[in-house]
């Protein structure tokens, strides 16, 4: 599916603070621990943006005590110093730091694990809408040396490559001899995501000979200098390497394009999170979470190479193989860069969908599309009975309609296309969850 993105941005309310935030007499005002993907640049950039929004002066960052740690510093008009610490050692370390009370916010490039959720239960429900905050969308790019002739790989091949079962480029139809593997370290959310999306689903561990990196930049640069190299990396870190198109199950080949990652159709797309414990009373944590969701915060997300959650409209030119009714919608309407998805085993919108609901309503209001200008298109995973799949896909669209109606939206139409046009393999829960989605089209 070729997409021409028309940048029609939704304007979010400006972030505001009703009262000055307290400045501690000693120590940091806020401690953030976790994902290197977030903590290396995005997290500090959001902190700087918050400080500047609050009117702090001489805002800058400096290295902290350890590697991959930094401190963002600003001064109040009264001359008091405010510091916020950001440590980027991997998503798992963020949740561990919450438990030890050595962090106020966990930055994670993967959803919290069930075991972590139970472990942190004394801090409150970290899956609640207030606690689990999606701050950006990222895509894992599979990168090669720029001169590698391969352009497409499927997720099954990726599992075999990184497990070591496929060990030469010739086995993939390429050239170059032995494959050299590059991977993030065990603490990395990037590695966790790759393991979950590619390796674990097929029961394969990472080959022990893979070179491991804590730094995303160093990994990408190493692959771009190795004609036999292949690695996986967060989208902003492709740098000089070459990204290939990915196929999952019966999906079409997809490059890690902004439009495909925004809708999470791209097979290796992922969400980036702040986890804010309900028990937290740190007002700086709430301020940073709120700022991250604001228009200014999301502009910082985009400026750092990630995908902002501002809703955009895009014209879609569907493939000839798509259903005729779908092609008719695409001819007359534009698709919004959002897919509504659901909690596992539930008809309830997930945490990102609840945030997206308000973004979509804001878009519709600002573009005068509240009255019969919206069609919802539902999809699902494969069932033994295609009619049941079609019914379930329409029921998902109806669940989204109920929420939009509460906000004054009058729908034009609701369609269900069953298990057609999958964006992921239906062989595992993660793929089935991705296929259970609702698209939003505007006229």
List pLDDT tens digits, range 251-283. 989 999 888 999 999 999 989 999 999 999 999
The CA-based angle 311-133-191, given to 5 degrees, is: 100
**At residue 188, does pLDDT exceed 70?**
yes
User: Residue 242 belongs to what domain range?
Assistant: 138-259
**At residue 399, does pLDDT exceed 90?**
yes
pTM of the model: 0.82
Shared domain check, 371 and 435: yes
The domain that holds 343 is classified in CATH as: 3.30.1330.60
Shared domain check, 277 and 132: yes
- Distances from the Cα of 432 to the Cα of 44, 158, 267, angstroms: 35, 20, 12
Shared domain check, 152 and 120: no
Shared domain check, 116 and 69: yes
Strands 313-317 and 211-213: unpaired
The pLDDT-based confidence of 19 (bands split at 50, 70, 90) is low
**At residue 78, does pLDDT exceed 70?**
yes
209-246: per-residue pLDDT in tens? 999 999 999 999 999 999 999 999 988 899 999 999 99
Give a yes or no: residue 319 inside a domain.
Answer: yes
Shared domain check, 115 and 32: yes
Shared domain check, 294 and 318: no
Q: Which residues pair with 378 in a beta bridge?
A: 416, 438
**At residue 172, does pLDDT exceed 50?**
yes
User: For 89-93, 109-113, 213-217, 319-323, which range has the lowest pLDDT when averaged over its residues?
Assistant: 319-323
Give a yes or no: residue 2 inside a domain.
Answer: no
286-328: per-residue pLDDT in tens? 999 999 999 999 999 999 989 999 999 999 988 888 999 999 9
Q: Taking each helix axis from N to C terminus, what angle separates 386-406 and 351-366, rounded to the nearest 10 degrees?
A: 60
Shared domain check, 291 and 249: no
Shared domain check, 437 and 334: yes
Sheet (strand 374-379) strand order:
2-6, 313-317, 334-340, 437-442, 374-379, 413-416
Give a yes or no: residue 3 inside a domain.
Answer: no
Token pair for 280 = 């937290």
The domain total for the chain is: 3
The CA-based angle 423-425-430, given to 5 degrees, is: 90
pLDDT of residue 287: 98
The domain that holds 85 is classified in CATH as: 3.40.190.10
Q: Which residues pair with 140 in a beta bridge?
A: 234
């Amino acid at each position: 599916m070729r997409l021409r993105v028309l940048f029609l941005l939704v304007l979010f309310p400006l972030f505001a603070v009703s009262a000055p935030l307290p400045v501690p007499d000693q120590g940091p005002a806020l401690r953030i621990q976790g994902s290197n993907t977030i903590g290396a640049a995005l997290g500090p950039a959001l902190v700087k943006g918050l400080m500047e929004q609050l009117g702090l002066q001489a805002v800058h960052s400096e290295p902290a005590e350890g590697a991959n740690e930094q401190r963002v510093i600003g001064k109040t008009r009264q001359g008091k110093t405010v510091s916020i610490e950001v440590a980027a050692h991997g998503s798992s370390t963020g949740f561990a730091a919450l438990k030890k009370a050595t962090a106020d916010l966990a930055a994670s490039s993967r959803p919290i694990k069930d075991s972590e959720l139970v472990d942190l239960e004394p801090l409150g429900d970290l899956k609640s809408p207030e606690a689990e905050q999606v701050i950006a969308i990222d895509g894992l790019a599979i990168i090669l040396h720029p001169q590698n002739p391969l352009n497409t790989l499927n997720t099954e091949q990726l599992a075999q490559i990184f497990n070591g079962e496929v060990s030469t480029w010739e086995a993939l139809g390429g050239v170059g001899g032995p494959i050299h593997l590059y991977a993030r370290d065990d603490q990395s959310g990037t590695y966790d995501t790759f393991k979950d999306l590619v390796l674990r689903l097929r029961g394969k561990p990472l080959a022990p000979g893979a070179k491991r990196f804590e730094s995303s930049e160093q990994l990408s640069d190493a692959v771009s200098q190795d004609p036999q190299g292949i690695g996986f990396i967060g989208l902003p870190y492709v740098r000089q390497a070459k990204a290939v198109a990915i196929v999952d199950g019966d999906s079409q080949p997809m490059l890690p394009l902004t439009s495909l990652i925004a809708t999470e159709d791209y097979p290796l797309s992922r969400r980036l999170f702040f986890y804010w414990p309900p028990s937290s009373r740190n007002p700086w944590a709430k301020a940073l979470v709120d700022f991250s969701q604001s228009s200014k915060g999301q502009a910082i997300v985009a400026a750092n190479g990630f995908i902002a959650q501002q809703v955009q409209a895009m014209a879609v030119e569907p493939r000839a193989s798509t259903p005729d009714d779908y092609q008719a919608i695409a001819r007359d309407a534009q698709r919004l860069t959002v897919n509504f998805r659901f909690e596992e085993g539930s008809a309830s919108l997930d945490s990102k969908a609840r945030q997206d609901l308000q973004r979509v309503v804001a878009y519709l209001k600002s573009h005068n599309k509240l009255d019969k200008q919206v069609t919802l298109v539902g999809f699902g995973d494969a069932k033994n009975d295609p009619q049941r799949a079609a019914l379930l896909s329409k029921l998902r669209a109806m669940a989204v309609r109920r929420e939009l109606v509460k906000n004054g939206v009058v729908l034009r139409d609701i369609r269900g296309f069953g298990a057609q046009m999958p964006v992921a393999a239906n062989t595992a829960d993660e793929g089935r969850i991705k296929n259970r989605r609702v698209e939003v089209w505007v006229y």
